[in-house]
Structure 1
């Protein structure tokens, strides 16, 4: 076991170790009490270590369970003796004859019933039946819990196998880093440092240009000018369509008027010729 100084240092630097040592001290105290009950003040010499503590704790638990069983058997025996003391010789004779009439299986069943009464701590039939029902219910609950635990364990085993398979895949060469990863990282770091230096230099060079640049028109002004240009373009197209009607006329107004009169006379002549042909066509039909 650790010395008090070691225990104090462990408590200061490792709370978990301190709790473990406290639990170990409580176990040794329980073992010492049990040994004192068995041997009194004349305790045998033995080595105090974890293996000895574990063995003595197991022995003490078994001994206490045996003592409880013995006390229970003694209690049942005293109750039986008290009941036997109140019986009459005739009852004893009937009891002996009843035992004589039992065969081997009957005696065995009677012994089992007596052992069951000792284990359950009662000789009353109703209490024994209730205890058996409780034990049956507890056994069913425990079996269900065991089944659920086994199902969960099987599911965890399947997930573990899947995880191992994925881990095996990730350990392939395709997922391994290159051998020159450190050199590549160092080279990238140097390149990044150089680029940062050049970026600062270029920023210093372009700062005067940014400060002396003239601010151009805004987006709203550009949109207004574009709309005005489109309106003027539409007006120009309309005027061009109107001017197409006067194409081929001379620039002199009188000459243009004379040419217009000639065109009108030709139009009247063509109209009259058209009307005559329509009349001839109507007479022919």
Structure 2
């Protein structure tokens, strides 16, 4: 039996488990001392498996002792009842005379009637009562047989499903396809970093675009108010517009790239940061997906049927 460690003192569940094991071992020691009656108890390893086996053995022994005590009490009561029963000599002579006067067919019928009453455990010898009791026993026996057959079928189905689930669990635990990549955490961090970088770029380009639009509006207002704008200014405005359109195109491409990265990151958004925890979460989701798929197949088969 494991002793309490300093860490167990701060864990109520572990301390409670240790107390329960100590009580079980105390009960087992008392039972063994009673069974060996002062003799030396053989040494054995004190662990959880030994405790479980000894506890089951003590419970089975106690049940056997109770059954033996009940059987001895019933035998004593039956013996006492037989010893106290007083046999009437006249009834005995009358019974002998009736038995001697019966024909072989009558004696066989009387014996059959008595045997049937004893087998059906009825307190009367009326043929109608015996017939009703026989019908009742037959119906009960048939119902029990049907229930037993149903239980056997259900047990076979459950055993088959258990084997199937064990195979699926083993496949989930051993198949590398159901385990997350070893670089999943690093990939998620890289994608998050790229997303933040692209968002900063988008804000920067939006600011530049707003500045260019404001400059263009000012130039447009100044061009409409003065009529002496040279050809060089027109060429500068065209180049500025072309540059603005090019930057706007790049901005749209960056925004599209950011949206794609956000979608990729959202797929892993609900997973824990720890690799083992993420792997367990993926396994649990795979099991739930398999349950939903089997439920869908069952519903489809029911609709087709």
TM-score by length of 2: 0.38
TM-score by length of 1: 0.40
